[in-house]
Structure 1
Amino acid sequence: MNHLEANTIQEQTIGVEATSVFFPEGVETAECLAEKTGIPTQVIIEKFGLYQKHVADDTLHASDLAVLAAQQLTGSVIDPSEIDVIIYFGSPHKDYYVWSSAPKITYELKATNAYGFEMMNVSSCFPIALKVAKDMLTADASIENILLVAGCKESQIVDYDNPRSRFMFNFADGGTAALVKRGATKSRILHSCVITDGSFHDDVRVPAGGSRHQPSHETVENRLHYIDVPNPSDMKERLDPISIPNFVHVVEQALAKSNRSLRDLKLLLPLHTKRSMFLELLERLQLSEEQAVYLDHYGHLSALDPCIGLHVAQQEGRLSPGDIVVAVSAGTGYTWAATVLEWLAESQ
């Protein structure tokens, strides 16, 4: 590739051209969760920030949810044969252990010319997936269309009888997809910021199923196949002072790298958190509630939240040409990530 070709590629608009979502029919309301947990309904609504969430039955798994979301784009928005790369960025709790869902998704979508792979950084992954897709399109002239796909069935790994996992009672199920392409007309992906504090690497995990604690009668009897927080008070003591500052940092730095500032930010697409954290983040970013998508009727779907938020914002007509949008999320481990998009078209 000569310098002229490289410059032409870099000048082309790379952005999210379309999004889709899929939610299973099953719904758990705040009232249902109150019965399961013993937590009053109003507390679940007002503090957890959750009116309801979708829950999949035994016939649908993470790969299926991803496929059902992506199929809304293949055919209507893009012919499957025109997809060059499929990246699964969803939940690591998938159909099988030591198994990649990307080949299945590629096959089910009939994307015969695409190669597929997975990237996983639990809940922080969508802003990172946007960065990776943009970087791939910038670097490789042979790629035109990348389909980001994700599924989540993390409601299945919540133990409602374990008070240590209380902050994860909002885990829900669903699928989402985003088409990132060269020559996009709907949006432009600008820049990203990602930071990791690995001191939290052991604070949230499913204890059994990996090489440290292989499945056994004992691990099943002791309910070690559900997500857990070994020491919630210790994690809270260390995480609370840095969590919001790190959210703010990645948003500010991603904007600065995009030659923008908080004054330019029109819409925030965050992961679903408890309502007090959501409101504190908005206050620190000098945003109103109308300037964010809060998924209080969907819950938390691992890395899917900001992508779902982008889809909801389009459906609700909340995006106008020139708007600066930030997808921001955080994943246990702990990684905070933000990616800036400039919206180019009227919402449908």
Structure 2
Amino acid sequence: MRNHVGIAGMGIYIPENYWTAEDMAKMTGMPLEAFTEKIGVLKKPMPGPNDTTSYMGIMAAKKAIENAGIDPKEIDVVIWDGAQHKDYLNWLAFTKSAYEIGATNAWGFDVESMCGSRIVGLELGKSLILSRDDVNTILLVSGYRNCDMINLNYKTGAFLHDIGAGGSAVVLKKNLGYNEVLASSHVADGSFSEDFVVPVGGSKKWPVTPEDLDKMWFHITCDPNDFKERLGKVTMKNWYGVIDRALEKSSLTRKDIDYLAMVKIKRSAHYEILREMNLREDQSFFLEEYGHVGQNDVIISLVEGLKRGRIKDGDVVLLVSAGGGWTWNACVVKWGKVTE
């Protein structure tokens, strides 16, 4: 059998705490329909007192390890591909994760590509496994609670109001024999790099002052209408571009797609992409009861798709995401037994 990398196990962690669309409508004074229809969120998970960013990733990692049926000591590399808003500033989450799960033989690193990080993690994990004789098993682990940095009174950023909290993890193995990770594709546009940021707490605005605490949330730092117009002009083009390139590199076409694991976006855009891909609604899962949990969205969608019988052996699964700043990402996975 040819060398390949397969997904051996997955796990997700979702906090027990939720904010409903009704809750958020009351908090903001916005119409309920703005949440349920336009933004497309019925409820979103919010962190409890113990739900640090690393804790949520670690809980998901334990589930993924159990799902894969492996001993944590088999893990050669741990890649933290979760949020950069972690338990502490200037801190490695992969070491904490490896320690807590018992991956005593693993080295690793933290990687960041905002909400595209999980697809980047799949690319890096696959590349490491195929390029090194001493790496056979990799754990990707992610926690996310950027909801801490969302201001519900910032109406200009209403598209962010579905951001919640949670974690996910994936176990990758060399020559697993099933659930093969095929090709990925990525594109970036740095013209947006400083248009959408938390403007305090970084080296550009240091030291932090007491007044800064009231600004520690995501802002659009340029003209909001210009920002949305510029982003709208390139987003679908870039998504379709990375989708088509990932499929082409996998020797596939759009007609081969069986399931779309899509990052949480507004309802109308999600269904627009399904129509463009000529997919039915039951060939995806809209995350209206999860909200946007960052890079974890694509794994939550995979888990839900499997649970609901929407993904079966032999299916071509397309993972699609994007990250603020701005990146667009796609990865193809062939679910089920690997064929020559």
Name the TM-score, length of structure 1 as normaliser: 0.93
1:75 is displaced (CA, Å) by 4.7
Farther-moved stretch of structure 1 (318-327 vs 71-80): 71-80
More moved, 283-292 vs 200-209: 283-292
Q: Deviations over 1:197-234 (max 9, x none)?
A: 111111111110001112112212xx221111123211
Pairing 1:288–2:280 present: yes
Corresponding residue of 2:255: 263
Aligned counterparts of 2:4 and 2:130: Cα–Cα separation in 1: 10
Q: Are the counterparts in 1 of residues 65 and 171 from structure 2 also a CA contact under 8 Å?
A: no
* Residue aligning to 1:21: 12
Partner of 2:199: 207
Q: Deviations over 1:81-108 (max 9, x none)?
A: 1111111111111111111111111111
Asked whether the equivalents of residues 5 and 174 of structure 2 are also in contact (C-alpha less than 8 Å), the reply is yes
Q: Does 1:117 align with 2:109?
A: yes
Contact preservation (8 Å) 2:119, 2:331: yes
Counterpart Cα distance in 2 of 1:114 and 1:317: 34
Match in the other structure for 1:229: 220
The alpha-carbon deviation at position 344 of structure 1 amounts to 1.0
Equivalent pair of 2:10/2:65 in contact (CA under 8 Å): no
Deviations 1:5-60 (A, max 9, x none): xxx7xx23311111111111101111111111112222211111111111012322
**One-letter code of the match for 1:327?**
L
User: Is 1:30 aligned to 2:21, yes or no?
Assistant: yes
How much does 1:170 deviate?
0.6
Q: Deviations over 1:141-187 (max 9, x none)?
A: 11111011100111111111111221110100011111111122440
Give the one of 203, 217, 220 matched to 2:210.
217
Query: In the comparison of the two structures, how many residue pairs are matched?
Result: 334
SS in structure 1 at match of 2:299? helix
Q: Partners of 2:234 and 2:315 in 1: how far apart?
A: 29
Partner of 1:328: 320
1:3 alignment partner in structure 2 = none
**Same amino acid, percent of matched pairs:** 33
Pairs within 5 Å for 1:272-283 = 272-283=264-275
Q: Give the CA deviation at 1:116.
A: 2.3
1:70 lines up with 2:49 in the alignment: no
TM-score for both structures, normalised by structure 2? 0.95
- Match for 2:54: what amino acid? S
**Corresponding position: 1:179 with 2:188:** no
State the SS of the aligned residue for 2:65.
coil
Structure 2 partner of 1:55: 46
Cα distance per residue 1:63-96 (max 9 Å; x no partner): 0000011111335621111111111111111111
Distance 2:260 2:317 in 1: 6
The superposition leaves residues 233-263 of structure 1 with CA deviations (integer Å, 9 ceiling, x where unpaired) of 1111111111111111111110011100000
Q: In the aligned structure 2, how far is the partner of 1:124 from the partner of 1:232?
A: 23
Q: Distance in 2 between matches of 1:285 and 1:316?
A: 21
Residue 192 of structure 1 pairs with residue 188 of structure 2: no
- Structure 2: gaps (5+ residues): none
- Unaligned 5+ segments in structure 1 are 1-7
What amino acid does structure 2 have at the position aligned with 1:217? Answer: P
Supply the distance in 2 between the matched residues of 1:131 and 1:218 (Cα, whole angstroms).
41
CA distance in 2: counterparts of 1:296 and 1:244, whole angstroms = 21
- Deviation digits for residues 116-155 of structure 1 (CA, Å, limit 9, x no counterpart): 2111000111111111111111100111110111001111
Let me know the Cα RMSD of the aligned residues: 1.3
Q: Structure 1: which amino acid aligns with 2:106? A: A
Cα pair 2:54 2:143 within 8 Å, conserved: yes
Q: Which residue of 1 aligns with 2:150?
A: 158
